[in-house]
């Protein structure tokens, strides 16, 4: 069984924020693969179903970004999901808008949602980073991640999310090189 986690903030005012790209991806996966209706459970909104003949649980933590690990730990413990079967979709300031990168382990890179997960389940999980671009100055970062995508950025993000959906089976197969290559063409 796999756990797909989309990071974001649950307040409706954050719905289209750059920081909420993980929620966008989970919603898009649910729609594309016609998965179950989202239900509140384990401090998150859960969906389950199958993609590529593999059982999955998808979650949008409702704990806000900085406490995402709490939700993930509860799900992981209940369903006995090992960290290597956890895939976390999140924003990345250091990547160009719409670029997608995937890796196992590593540091949080200053991302508080990832840090929370590392603090609760360790660092041996998959990170699918989606570029949101950097505002150029460190003092602008907080407002940048908590502001909505521009119309132009939304077009780029929508294209990137569709490519991710087209290639999600490669993630499940753990073919990270092909996933990254095909998701960024």
Structural domain boundaries in the chain: 2-183
The pLDDT of residue 136: 87
Q: Are 98 and 157 in contact (CB under 8 A)?
A: yes
Starting at the earlier edge strand, list the strands of the sheet with 126-131.
39-41, 44-51, 54-61, 2-6, 86-92, 126-131, 100-104
DSSP state of 137: S
pLDDT value, residue 78: 96
Of 109, 106, 45, nearest to 71 (Cα)?
45
Which positions are catalytic?
19
pTM, entire model? 0.94
CATH of domain 2-183: 3.40.50.1470
Q: What is the pLDDT of residue 42?
A: 94
Residue 66 confidence (pLDDT): 87
pLDDT digits (tens, 9 = 90+) for 116-149: 999 999 999 999 999 999 988 889 988 898 899 9
Q: Rounded to the nearest 5°, which phi and psi values hold at 92?
A: -140, 115
Instruction: Give me 55's structure tokens.
Output: 């059982």
What does the pLDDT read at residue 138?
87
Rounded distance, CA 183 to CA 185, Å? 6
Return the pLDDT at 81.
96
**Per-residue model confidence (pLDDT) at position 128:** 95
Low-confidence stretches of the chain (pLDDT < 50) are none
């Amino acid at each position: 069984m796999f756990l797909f986690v989309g990071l974001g903030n649950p307040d409706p005012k954050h719905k289209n924020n750059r920081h909420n790209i993980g929620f966008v991806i989970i919603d898009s996966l649910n729609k594309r693969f016609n998965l179950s209706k989202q239900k509140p459970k384990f401090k998150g909104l859960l969906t389950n179903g199958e993609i590529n003949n593999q059982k999955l649980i998808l979650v949008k933590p409702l704990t806000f970004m900085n406490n995402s690990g709490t939700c993930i730990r509860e799900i992981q413990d209940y369903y006995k999901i090992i960290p290597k079967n956890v895939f976390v979709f999140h924003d990345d300031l250091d990547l160009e808008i719409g670029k997608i990168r995937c890796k196992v382990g590593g540091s949080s890179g200053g991302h508080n949602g990832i840090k929370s997960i590392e603090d609760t389940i360790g660092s041996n999980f998959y990170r699918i980073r989606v570029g949101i671009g950097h505002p150029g100055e460190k003092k602008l970062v907080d407002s940048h991640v908590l502001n909505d995508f521009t119309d132009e950025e939304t077009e780029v993000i929508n294209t990137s999310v569709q490519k991710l959906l087209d290639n999600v089976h490669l993630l499940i197969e753990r073919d990270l090189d092909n996933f990254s290559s095909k998701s960024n063409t």
